[in-house]
A and B are shown apart, each in its own frame.
Chain A
Amino acid sequence: MTSVIGAPNATETRIVTKRLRDRPEDSWTLDGFTQSGGYEAFRAALKLDPEAIGAEQVAAAGLRGRGGAGFPTGTKWSFLPKDSYPRYLVVNGDEGEPSTFKDRMLIENDPHQLIEGIAISSYAIGCNLAFIYVRGEFALGFERLEAARRDAHAAGFLGANILGSGFDLDIVIHRAAGAYICGEETALLSSLEGDRGMPRIRPPFPAVAGLYAKPTIVNNVETLSTVPHIMRMGGAEYAKLGVNKSTGTRIFSLSGHVNRPGNYEVELGITFRDLIESPELGGGVRNGGKVKFFIPGGASSQWLTGSDEHLDAPLDMDYVQQTFGVMLGSGAVMVYDETTNPALVAWRLAKFFAHESCGKCTPCREGTGWIEKVLYRISHGYGRPQDLDLLLDVGDNISPGLNAPFSQTTICPLGPSAVSPVVSLHKFFREEVIAMCQNNDRALDVTASDSGASDLGAGE
């Protein structure tokens, strides 16, 4: 393991991704897993008091959800009502946000690590049936996950009376049908129950009445994959990694106009410049260009520009939130060089959200489509100078105040996510967009990255 002393290194800090980087040939098999220390943390956890795992390890580690919202995992677990059983753990493996591809890597290349995380977490929260809701398009991931579950069962890490501890756990793996909205936890639960994947009104929160109206914890794949390492290292030790309240490491899915796109697990606290430019990480912008702007936390995040102020910001959830009003979200960093037309990027993102809106709430159902149509006009040479202000007001009706974290007139944050590109256009590229509208300029296509690296990124 890389040294964790001192300031975060501008290199990879491999904890969750260590095994799959070290043994790419068999990291997903039971043998590969156990030979590299797998299920040891689970064995150890089974000897502990379940409540202590949540309180003393996960909460102490400062582990925050890796799915996007960054909610402290230990706190989430503590919301479960006492003495209400059965309760369920649902793993959100419906990674569908454009440019986010970290969970897929974890599911495909280290499924046992996820299962171990599930097992420890289930033990900690007193759940005997866990569900993995895995994105339908992850064919290989599903196959390996299913095999891992079978193997773990056969090896006694799942099933009844696991390792003689008296703890029972079964895992159901459910393949999703390809809706982005099902990554939202309540929509995921509806989908899992067999209904249309549409978010539910909260309260009741899933921790109180979730799957089948029972107390349910929904955690991200990466979050749970981190749990065994917290057990192994100890919560307090893990908390020493990272900065402030952003502890530990995170996997960033770096894409766009960088030389080395890919998944990089880095210690939180390094800067965006480190991530983009470090030769071990992003390796700089393609063709020696400059960053025009980048999306710091997945498609639903607002953007940052290539200014020094933005590039030198640390990867610290609270810092970027408070300073720039953006979020690290799902950890997907999309980099655009100066050849990029921001209006076209905004249109492409809006098109995604309009397509993926579930249709439940009026502002999102109608508003995302409207934004998409106006952005199409702007980016294809039919814009009117007043269109940007129109978009902002439409956005304001979906997400009043246009701030992050979103305030919203919808149930879930999908609608406000579609507003992020609009707000970013307005903040950073207003003149450019208005000039486009006045000149009826047509945007050129964003050219794809030409660096040719695979999505596993460095190490190959």
Chain B
Amino acid sequence: MKDEREIVTVTIDGIEMQAPKGELLIRVAQDNGTFVPRFCWHERMKPVGMCRMCLVEVEGVRGMPPACTTTVTDGMVVNTKSETVKKAQDGVLEFLLINHPLDCPVCDRGGECPLQDQTLAFGPGESRYVEEKRHFEKPIPISELVLLDRERCIQCSRCTRFADEIAGDRLIDFGERGGEMQVITYPDDPFTSYFSGNTVQVCPVGALTAKPYRFRARPWDLSAVETSCQTCSVGCRGSLESSSNELVRLLGVDVEPVNHGWLCDKGRFGYEATHAEDRARNPMIRRDGSLVECSWPEALDAAAEGIKRSLDLHGPASIAMVGGSRGTNEDAYLWARLAKGVIGTDNVDAQIGDGLPAEVVLGLPGATIPDLDEAAAIILLGPDLKEELPVLYLRVRRACVDLGVPILDVSAVDHGLSKYASATIRHLPGEQASAAREISAALAPLIDGRSGPIVVVLGRSDVATSAEPTVAAAAIIREIPNTRFLVALRRGNVRGAIDLGLAPGFLPGRVTLDAGAERFVAAWGSAPAEVGLDTAGIFNAASEGRIGALILVGADIVNDFPDRRLVRAGVGGAGFVICINATVTEAAADADVFLPATVWGEKAGTTTNLEGRISRVGRKIAAVGNPMPDFRIASELALRLGTDFDLETVEEIQDEIARVAPAFAEVDAQLLKRARDGVVLPLALHRDELVLEPRRIPVIDFSWEPIKPEGPGEFEVVEFEVVEPVLEADASDEAAAEEESALPVDISNGAGLPDAQLFVWSAQHAAQPTPGRDNYALRLSAGRSLYDNGRTVASTPALRALIPAQTLRVNPSEISRVGVADGESVRVSTARGSLVLSLTGDANVPAGVAVMPFNIGETGVGDLVDVSLVVTDLRLETLR
């Protein structure tokens, strides 16, 4: 956002500095190298001036105003180091410490504690307090994940303000007053926020501690690497920290275009899954009907043999690859190259039946997350962001609440952002297209002269409805002028996988088979000729015996695919199954070869978030046992199939991607290393968003920031030579050299892009009509819950307990219509199957709709959905 404020001159401690008028004094001072001590002030929250630590002297102002609530004016003269200020700082710190228990040796914050650091730097050194300190019961749980030690609390209100201002879950607040003031939860209403972990990170003392990290390590034995979270596709930046080769925590890093330093609890604590007991340590092959551990060469030879046999007997179209949306871009690229360049099949799909077709993902004009802040309006037509992409929810909420961007909510049922919507269009699941036709009219009053793009958050709101209605709706919304789309896919690197060709009909770099054939034949030696099958198609083909070798890359396919019966038939029907995974999932148990893979935190690379922003993922620990990174497995398989990729390192792969994949032009290893906030693809359109300076580390090495200058890893603390954002073209890199002249370019006609044209969706989509709902049926809406049976949650002890109970929520009128009591079990039948489920009344669910989260419980939505149908209608029967 352009800062258009007047520039004024301020003198702080005798140094003149320029600052925008109205900026907070504390920020101006910090940006210019003067650290004013503070506790309550936080960069991303409104100032309250409670802790009184940042008092400064301003000439001409009586008393000492706090720097965090004072705005700068022209000619202001500020003194932050005078004797008076020093005495006030001494005083405040002495006051803060009189009731502080000083149990630093057992406190998780000890060693990286702002109170410790600032006491050392600004405090009096000794206390004159001889009275008894305040006592409370030592840590009390305020949620499943967070413990509160009220003795340590310095009442800065950062946590309560976070919960209220940022997360919108005002579930903690202050109780009592004066010296007894303490953070409380409401009676019988625990702090069940999805963002509770952030309160631990913003706490300036050890009052709030996270259960998973508690006592696991001390700050001085941590080492950290900056990384991007891959739990969902928002790609929040974080600092991943380990102690003794064990991941112990992930802290949010403040990145303006993405996460503002926040993380959701699933992302924050999901690292525990890395250390799950059931991680596969060694490769396995099937001998005498059961999987037995073996050596890597044995397993790889067996896998290559299986592929080769099918290739020889039935040709490349008999081989299929499913998954690959959890790895890095480098993994995805080499899987794509293995499948499309070496094997020659196009039956490749990284999405497992719960996303949108690649042509929609790649072909719509893209929005970035910061576009939300400046949008004229935001249209929500997709998943419940709070449940699926929680940090994106925070951004949309902020855009609405703090920046006044109106929201148009197009949804089947109430979701996390419904209460912020200025207008709502409700539709039956599957009727997205007809709802989309009403959008234009509903939008006009909301925009009301506001400028900026209209950002559409588009996605599959549930897995019980096929992608077609959403695609049809997108085709309609696309016609509204000035719309940009943020395609809300869920899995960590699904966007990167699609960008790199793990989708039928596409080659790496957002080009279709036709457009890219020539280029990739030149680069790889061959490319598939015919468009292949998507995941549902692959399983259909496999169940009919037409797939000779099935390669499953990651994913717990049986539970993640919406139609369990089809997956089981497909995996069972495939001739030879190779499974690459971190754990032996249900499908893996049936595999012929199992190859253990490393996971996030154990491998370096890059990931692409839902905007198309590529950022680096760091390797923090060495995997236990013998798993290999996916890209190496792919290389090894390719080698055994006769192609030597000759790519040893992640950087070499990145350079090859930049050279080969059109949308990745110029985005080579060197740029990725330097681009602080990542690179948004295609670079030609987002060149001005590149930031090549290293991340600012506060002047004084206070422990505020999760990034510590002294920490090993990838933090660049050395002064970079700041390079102009226009990059020098590598002489050997023809593609980049050609693009150099075009800046920015309009990709819609392919101008300025090298020989291959980036794909643009024509939206000539003949949607399968959505059948009507008969009056006796309920239409199923199966969205997701943040905590589900997915691997991240199921393997994380801290989160497992948070998985909600399985229940079918319907409008209370339906309950009375069926004639059962609330909570009673009923038989639920669809065209696919039937289950016994408990029925809960919920007035927020419209009549005619039934809501059940996907992937919860032993049996569930996956047993009710038939992916060949557009919608899932169900009937209820009493058991009596």
User: Do A and B come into direct contact in the complex, CB within 8 Å?
Assistant: yes
A residues apposed to B, CB below 8 Å: 179, 181, 196, 201, 354-363, 365-370, 373-374, 377, 390, 393-394, 396-398, 400, 407-411
Contact A362 B50 (CB under 8 A): yes
Contacts of B53 in A (CB 8 A): 362
Nearest first, the 3 closest Cβ-Cβ pairs linking A and B are A397-B91, A359-B181, A357-B178
> How far, in angstroms, from A369 to B90 measured CA to CA in the complex?
18
B95/A407 in contact, CB under 8 A = no
Q: Which chain B positions have C-beta within 8 A of A360? A: 48, 50, 155
Q: Tell which of B49, B51, B63, B91 has the most Cβ of chain A within 10 Å.
A: B91
Given A366-B99, A397-B94, A409-B52, CB of A196 within 8 Å of CB of B173: yes
Task: Give Cα A109 to B716, complex, Å.
Answer: 73
Q: What is the interface of chain A mostly: helix, strand, loop, or mixed?
A: helix
Across the interface, B51 reaches (CB within 8 A) one of A358, A362, A370, namely: A362
Whether the pair A356, B178 counts as a contact (CB closer than 8 A) is yes
Contacts known (A362-B96, A409-B52); A397 close to B88, Cβ less than 8 A: yes
- Distance, CA A366 to CA B129, complexed state (A): 11
Q: Are A359 and B177 in contact (CB under 8 A)?
A: yes
Q: Show 23 residue pairs from A and B whose CB-CB distance is below 8 angstroms, ordered by the A residue.
A: A201-B48, A201-B66, A359-B174, A361-B50, A361-B51, A362-B50, A362-B51, A362-B96, A362-B154, A362-B155, A365-B181, A366-B99, A368-B179, A369-B178, A370-B95, A374-B131, A396-B87, A398-B91, A400-B87, A407-B63, A409-B52, A409-B55, A409-B88
Q: B104-141: which residues lie under 8 A (CB-CB) from chain A?
A: 128-129, 131
Per the bound structure, the CA–CA distance linking A367 and B69 in Å amounts to: 22
Q: Return the contact of A359 from the options B52, B63, B176 (Cβ within 8 A).
A: B176
Q: Which residues of A sit under 8 angstroms from B84, Cβ to Cβ?
A: 400
Instruction: Looking at the assembled complex, report how far the CB atom of A393 sits from the nearest CB atom of chain B, in whole angstroms.
Output: 8
A366-B95 in contact given A196-B173, A409-B55, A410-B52 (Cβ < 8 Å)? yes
In the complex, whether B311 has a CB less than 8 A from a CB of chain A is no
Say yes or no: A370-B154 contact (C-beta < 8 A), given A359-B174, A359-B176, A363-B91: no
CA distance A34 to B49 in the complex (A): 48
B64 interface residue (CB < 8 Å to A): yes
Partner of A366, one of B49, B87, B179: B179
Interface string of B849-869 (1 = CB under 8 A from A): 000000000000000000000
Is B62 among interface residues, defined by CB-CB distance under 8 A?
A: yes
Q: Is B131 touching A373 in the complex (CB atoms < 8 A)?
A: yes
B380 at interface by CB-CB < 8 Å: no
Give Cα A357 to B154, complex, Å: 15
Residue in chain A with minimal CB distance to B68: A201
Q: In the complex, what's the smallest C-beta–C-beta distance from A206 to chain B, in angstroms?
A: 16
Let me know if B92 is at the binding interface, CB within 8 A: yes
Decide yes or no: A390 and B128 within 8 Å by CB, A362-B95, A363-B92, A410-B52 being known contacts. Answer: yes
Per-position 1/0 for B137-174, Cβ under 8 A of A: 00000000000000000110000000000000000011
- Is residue B569 within 8 Å, beta carbon to beta carbon, of the partner chain? no
B55 cross-chain contacts in A, Cβ below 8 A: 409
In the bound complex, what is the Cα–Cα distance between A358 and B179 (angstroms)?
8
Which B residues touch A367, using CB under 8 A? 95
CA A13 – CA B98 in complex, angstroms?
50
- Contact across chains for A365 and B92 when beta carbons are under 8 A apart: no
Alpha-carbon separation in the docked complex, A409 to B89 (Å): 10
Of all chain B residues, which has the CB nearest A360?
B50
Tell me the bound Cα distance from A361 to B92 in angstroms: 9
Q: B129 near A370 (CB under 8 angstroms)?
A: yes
The CA of A407 and the CA of B63, in the complex, are separated in Å by: 6
B174 contacts A196, CB within 8 Å?
Answer: yes
- Tell me how far the C-beta of B127 lies from the nearest C-beta in chain A, rounded to whole angstroms: 10
Least Cβ–Cβ distance between B36 and chain A, in angstroms? 15
Q: Give the distance in Å from the alpha carbon of A181 to the alpha carbon of B177 in the complex.
A: 10
Closest chain-B Cβ to A352's Cβ sits at a distance in Å of: 11
Beyond contacts A362-B154, A390-B128: 10 other A-B pairs, Cβ-Cβ < 8 A, are: A196-B174, A201-B69, A357-B179, A359-B174, A362-B50, A363-B95, A365-B179, A366-B179, A368-B179, A408-B63
The docked-state distance in angstroms from the alpha carbon of A356 to that of B49 is 19
How long is the Cα–Cα vector from A179 to B84 in the complex, in angstroms?
A: 32
How far is A381 from B180 in the complex, measured between Cα atoms in Å? 26
Most buried by B among A361, A367, A407, A410: A361
Q: How large is the interface on B (under 10, 10 to 19, 20 to 34, 35 or more residues)?
A: 35 or more
Q: Give every chain B residue within 8 A of A369 (Cβ-Cβ).
A: 99, 178-179
Chain B residue numbers with a CB within 8 Å of A365 are 95, 155, 178-179, 181
Residue of B whose beta carbon sits closest to that of A372: B179
Provide the bound-state CA to CA distance between A291 and B63, in Å: 35
Cα(A373)–Cα(B179), bound, Å: 12
> What's the minimum C-beta distance from A180 to chain B, rounded to whole angstroms?
10
Q: Which of B47, B49, B88, B179 meets A400, CB within 8 Å? A: B88
Report chain B residues within 8 Å CB of A409.
52, 55, 63-64, 88, 91-92
Considering the complex, which residues of chain B in the window 564-590 have a beta carbon less than 8 Å from any beta carbon of chain A? Answer: none
Complex CA–CA separation, A407 to B87 (angstroms): 14
| CB–CB A355/B173 < 8 A | no
Q: Name which residue of chain A comes closest to B131, CB basis.
A: A373
**Distance between Cα atoms of A369 and B178 in the complex (Å):** 8
Contact partner of A397 (CB less than 8 A), chosen from B92, B173, B179, is: B92
CA A179 to CA B174, docked complex, whole Å: 15
* Most chain B beta-carbon contacts within 10 A, residue among A373, A394, A408, A409: A409
Q: How far is the CA of A355 from the CA of B177 in the complex (A)?
A: 8
Q: Which residues in A have their C-beta under 8 angstroms from that of B50?
A: 360-362
Q: Which residue of B lies closest to A406 (CB)?
A: B63
Residues in chain A near residue B176, CB distance under 8 A: 359
Most A CB contacts (10 A, CB to CB) among B52, B63, B98 go to: B52
Q: In the complex, are the beta carbons of B49 and A358 less than 8 A apart?
A: no
Kindly state the separation between the CA atoms of A360 and B178 in the bound complex, as whole angstroms: 8
| Chain B residue at minimum C-beta to C-beta distance from A405 | B62
Which residues of the partner chain B approach A196 to less than 8 Å between Cβ atoms?
Answer: 173-174
Does A370 contact B98, Cβ atoms closer than 8 Å? yes
List B753-795 residues whose CB lies under 8 Å from chain A.
none
Contact B173 A368 (CB under 8 A): no
Q: Which of A196, A365, A394 has the most CB of B within 10 A?
A: A365
A367: nearest chain-B partner, CB-CB = B95
Which residues of A sit under 8 angstroms from B51, Cβ to Cβ? Answer: 361-362
Asked if residues A354 and B90 are in contact (CB atoms below 8 Å), the reply is no
Given contacts A201-B49, A362-B96, A366-B96, contact A354 B87 (CB under 8 A): no
In the complex, the answer to whether B69 meets A362 with C-beta atoms within 8 Å is no
Chain A residues with CB under 8 A of B154: 362
Report A-chain residues with C-beta under 8 Å of the C-beta of B177: 179, 181, 356-359
Q: Which of B52, B131, B174 contacts A361 (CB 8 A)?
A: B52
Nearest Cβ on chain B to A155's Cβ, whole angstroms: 41
**Quick check: A368 and B91 within 8 Å, CB to CB?**
no
Cα–Cα, bound, A374→B96 (Å)? 17
Task: Indicate the member of B48, B90, B95, B96 with the most A CB atoms within 10 Å.
Answer: B95
What is the distance, in angstroms, from A405's C-beta to the closest C-beta of chain B? Answer: 9
CB closest residue in chain A, given B66: A201
- List, in ascending order, chain B residues with CB within 8 A of A400's CB: 63-64, 84, 87-88
Q: Are A370 and B131 in contact (CB under 8 A)?
A: yes
Closest Cβ–Cβ distance, residue B725 to chain A (whole Å)? 40
Enumerate chain B residues within 8 angstroms of A366, measured Cβ to Cβ.
Answer: 95-96, 98-99, 179
Contact between A363 and B128 (Cβ–Cβ < 8 Å)? no
B48 cross-chain contacts in A, Cβ below 8 A: 201, 360
Nearest residue, chain B, Cβ from A389: B128
Residues from chain A with a CB closer than 8 A to the CB of B155 are 359-360, 362, 365
In the bound complex, CA of A354 to CA of B155 (Å): 16
Q: How far apart are the CA atoms of A398 and B52 in the complex, in Å? A: 10
Complex CA gap A393/B155 in Å reads: 23
Least CB distance, B585 to chain A, in whole angstroms: 50
Measured between C-beta atoms, what is the minimum distance from A24 to chain B in Å? 38
How many whole Å from A115's CB to the nearest CB in chain B?
Answer: 32
Q: How far is the CA of A369 from the CA of B84 in the complex (A)?
A: 23
Q: Given the complex of chains A and B, what is the CA–CA distance between A397 and B155 in angstroms?
A: 19
0/1 string, B61-85, CB within 8 A of A gives 1: 0111010010000000000000010
Contact (A354, B49) CB under 8 Å given A373-B131, A397-B87, A397-B95:
no
